Amino acid sequence: MRKVRRKRWFALVLLGMVLLLFYRSNWLGRVIYPIEYREEIEQASAAEKVDPLLVAAVIRVESNFRADRMSPKGAVGIMQVMPDTAQWMFERERFRSYKLEDLQDPLKNIRVGTAYLSLLHQQFLHNQVIAVASYNAGPGNVNKWLSNDTWDGRLETVEDIPFGETRKYVSKVMYYYKKYREVY
């Protein structure tokens, strides 16, 4: 009887130590919250001066890192760039050689999506929450919400966003952003 108790106690202590090891390490977090296309994200983020973990969080919510994704509304690729937004971005010097078909290429999609996110970030004075909301709902809608005091642009008041899809989107992106910051 004593040997059985001792073995159980030893097994529990060993299990506790293993769980503590995984809890203290980022290994498990990286399994649960992987970042694919990491090099491409880091390159585009460095060029655009945007936090690569925020870009990864946007990608996680937009497509879950699936480059072949196309939304029912017509958004394309890994960052789910809308064709009209892409055409507008293609007017910029460094994207003039891009075509809509290029959005199927993860690297080019990440470059365009990250550049757009950067522009939104600048437009909204580096407020990540507002930039993320704009990425989903469009800057026109977000400007309207901010100017008529529908929403104050804070994560704490995300429930004030009139579009349910955008409320959920902002919450999810900021959730993954927080997790990525903890793990990476």
pTM value is 0.86
Residue with tokens 């005091």: 149
Q: Give the span between the Cα atoms of 96 and 133, in whole angstroms.
A: 27
Which helix or strand (DSSP H or E) is residue 88 part of?
Answer: helix 83-90
Total residue length of the chain: 184
Indicate which residue of 36, 39, 40, 62 is catalytic. Answer: 62
Q: What is the pLDDT of residue 79?
A: 98
Q: Please, what sign has the CA dihedral across residues 104, 108, 109, 112?
A: negative
* Type of residue at 93: E
Q: What is the pLDDT of residue 138?
A: 97
pLDDT in tens, the chain (184 residues): 667 677 777 777 777 666 666 666 677 788 889 999 999 999 999 999 999 999 999 999 999 999 999 999 999 999 999 999 999 999 998 999 999 999 999 999 999 999 999 999 999 999 999 999 999 999 999 999 999 999 999 999 999 999 999 999 999 999 999 999 999 9
CB neighbours of residue 68 within 10 Å: 10
Q: Please answer whether residues 144 and 137 qualify as being in contact, where contact means their C-beta atoms are separated by less than 8 angstroms.
A: no
Q: Please answer whether residues 128 and 54 qualify as being in contact, where contact means their C-beta atoms are separated by less than 8 angstroms.
A: yes
62 annotated active-site: yes
